[in-house]
Structure 1
Amino acid sequence: MPESSTGAPARRISRPVPLRESAYNAILDMIVSGELQPGQHLVENELAVTLGVSRQPVREALQWLKNDGWVDLRPGQGAFVHSPTVEEADQLLVVRGVLETESARLAAGRATPEDVAGLREICRRGVAAVDADDVPAMIAANAELHAAVTRMSGNDVLVDLVAQVDRRVSWYYGSVARRRGAQSWREHADLIEAIAAGDPARSADAMRHHTELTRQSYLEHSAERGTAATAADARSDEAI
């Protein structure tokens, strides 16, 4: 450790997290949880009041969120929660499936009994969330289980790559969590048993099957939402 002019070891003073970073994380959490919906107008004054900060850190946070693809800034209109296209969601969910399938394969060869017990506890909480119709808890448990499997892979590069897409996957999953319901957690249970058995091929297959079903569910949901929107527009035109 370097020394100061007094001869004593230099000490770093820990700094509080900048307000713009706190605002960024808070707004992002509201987007991922569904509290702020795709396409929703984000009013700086309202967000500032909600977060208990001034408009400046909110404005800076919205710019960061725009840079990261979570928010759209429209000249003369303001900020809006990004509405992902079906194609961009599909591409990310395909990549997620590839990464997590490999994570599961590796995890099967490394998981300890304690690791497996942890996965079963997360699964238990996920099932309880489904029974209680608690969508935020479903989303949280789903993300926790997938992150735990990735950590068990022992591959730091995989952990970093999955972490990059994790929040966006949670965002997409939120729209189909209730639709996937108990079936998703039965698939998780199958995955856990494959990992517990130390079977890499079976674990990879279970994760591949699970992530593909989630992708298909999201695409079906998007198609239905698009059909409903088209029908609503048609009814509106007829009423004019």
Structure 2
Amino acid sequence: MLSTGLSQGSVPKLERPGPLRERVYEALLELIITRALSPGQHLVETELAGHLGVSRQPVREALQRLNTEGWVDLRPAQGAFVHEPTEEEADQLLVVRALLETEAARLAAANAGAKGLERLDELCATGEAAVEADDVDAVVAANAALHAYVMELAGNAVLTELSRQVDRRVRWYYTPVARQRGKQSWIEHRELIKAIADRDAARASEVMRAHTEQTRNSYHHRADKD
């Protein structure tokens, strides 16, 4: 176990050729989002480079980019640390997420066809199975996939692009509460799918609004207990 908290061999070596700088950035960002690298954790360039099988230079460039985007804090004379989100940051992001997804649910109820509804059922079943298996990473991935597909069914390209801008941070905030939300989250997803299938735009909006608010409340409740 290295001081980064990652076990030897837990991070696959990056394959070459390819845009190495971008791939190192994506690898580190995914480790942060999934909380394999936890908020406040010290990031040592040499150790990260060793995990990823690259030199320090692309790691340094990736950390600088992650700092610019707010994922990493570069502290003079101390080094790089995973950013620790404040309650205000989390709240602002989750409020915006609720607004975007409530509108997406409304539009999806108007636009979804039989194939779209079938796909929603499949995604929900995947999430339910992940909950039963107590596989948090799979739950988070399934949750993100279902919400992204509702966005796709909405049929609004601008709304989808805005959602993509916040999706990774939503995953970051959702990961620590995924187990707490548990089966209830997927019961709410089933209610949403039914409203969309019934073409009840008002109900779909209402269910999505309540669903995102529950996640927001769970995040803040967890923070209060820490």
Q: TM-score normalized by structure 2?
A: 0.92
Matches of 1:194 and 1:51, distance apart in 2:
45
Equivalent position SS for 1:163: helix
User: Partner of 2:92 in structure 1?
Assistant: 91
Equivalent position SS for 1:76: coil
Give 1:19 shift. 1.1
Greater than 6 Å deviation, 4+ residue runs: none
Matches of 1:199 and 1:29, distance apart in 2:
36
Is 1:223 matched up with 2:224? yes
Equivalent position SS for 2:111: coil
Equivalent position SS for 1:84: coil
User: Partner of 1:208 in structure 2?
Assistant: 209
Give 1:17 shift. 3.8
Give 1:149 shift. 0.2
Is 1:75 matched up with 2:80? no
AA aligned to 1:47 is: L
1:149-168 paired onto structure 2 within 5 Å: 149-168=150-169
1:26-37 paired onto structure 2 within 5 Å: 26-37=27-38
Give the gaps of 5 or more residues in structure 1. Answer: 1-15, 226-240
Provide, for residues 101-149 of structure 1, a one-character-per-residue CA deviation record: whole Å limited to 9, x for no partner.
0000000000011111111111111011111110000000000000000
Count of aligned pairs between the two proteins? 211
Provide, for residues 141-182 of structure 1, a one-character-per-residue CA deviation record: whole Å limited to 9, x for no partner.
000000000011111010000000000000000010000000
AA aligned to 1:97 is: A
User: Partner of 2:194 in structure 1?
Assistant: 193
Matches of 2:90 and 2:45, distance apart in 1:
27
Give the gaps of 5 or more residues in structure 2. Answer: 1-16
Matches of 1:120 and 1:143, distance apart in 2:
14
User: Partner of 2:42 in structure 1?
Assistant: 41
Q: TM-score normalized by structure 1?
A: 0.87
Matches of 1:178 and 1:17, distance apart in 2:
36
- Counting aligned pairs with the same residue, the percent is 62
Equivalent position SS for 1:175: helix
Give 1:20 shift. 1.2
Give 1 or 2 for the bigger CA radius of gyration: 1
User: Partner of 2:183 in structure 1?
Assistant: 182
Matches of 1:193 and 1:34, distance apart in 2:
33
Equivalent position SS for 1:80: strand
AA aligned to 2:145 is: E
User: Partner of 1:111 in structure 2?
Assistant: 112
